[in-house]
């Protein structure tokens, strides 16, 4: 897994804010404001999708991240369309949509009992 590729993704998404990549499970998680909204696996970028944003990924002919080829499990992260890589504004629009999906699906922090 390439740190250079992860840094490139962060640079492309930098108009959204201070995007960072953290190594995880042989790939990278992509974060903004401490919230994961993307992941990189096998040099492929996947962005968070939910019930509101998934249709755009489907319309672009993209598929979800499938961590194991021999198992049916998929995750709510979808591959970014290849043409977005050539259009910085479009790339950031996909990133913004993914961050919005992550915000909508953020789990509230458990309150500590005293």
Q: How many CB atoms within 10 Å of residue 22? A: 12
- Tokens, residue 37: 């909204």
pLDDT tens, 83-109?
999 999 999 999 999 999 999 988 776
Domains: count for the chain = 1
User: Which residues form the domain of 65?
Assistant: 3-104
pLDDT, position 69: 75
The domain that contains 25 carries what CATH number?
A: 3.30.1460.30
Q: Which long-range contacts (CB under 8 A, 24 or more apart) does 80-88 make?
A: 80/45, 80/46, 80/47, 85/12, 88/12, 88/15
Q: Which of 53, 104, 48 is nearest to 75 (CA)?
A: 48
Is residue 71 in some structural domain? yes
Is residue 72 in some structural domain? yes
- This prediction's pTM: 0.85
Is residue 112 in some structural domain? no
Is residue 46 in some structural domain? yes
Is residue 110 in some structural domain? no
Is residue 109 in some structural domain? no
């Amino acid at each position: 897994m390439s740190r250079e590729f992860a840094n490139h993704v962060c640079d492309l998404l930098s108009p959204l804010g201070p995007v960072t990549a953290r190594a995880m499970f042989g790939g990278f998680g992509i974060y903004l404001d401490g919230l994961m909204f993307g992941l990189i696996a096998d040099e492929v970028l996947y962005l968070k999708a939910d019930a509101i944003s998934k249709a755009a990924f489907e319309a672009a002919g993209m598929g979800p991240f499938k961590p194991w080829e021999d198992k049916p499990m998929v995750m709510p992260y979808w591959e970014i369309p290849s043409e977005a890589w050539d259009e910085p504004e479009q790339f950031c629009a996909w990133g913004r949509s993914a961050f919005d999906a992550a915000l909508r699906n953020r789990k509230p922090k458990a309150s500590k009992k005293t």
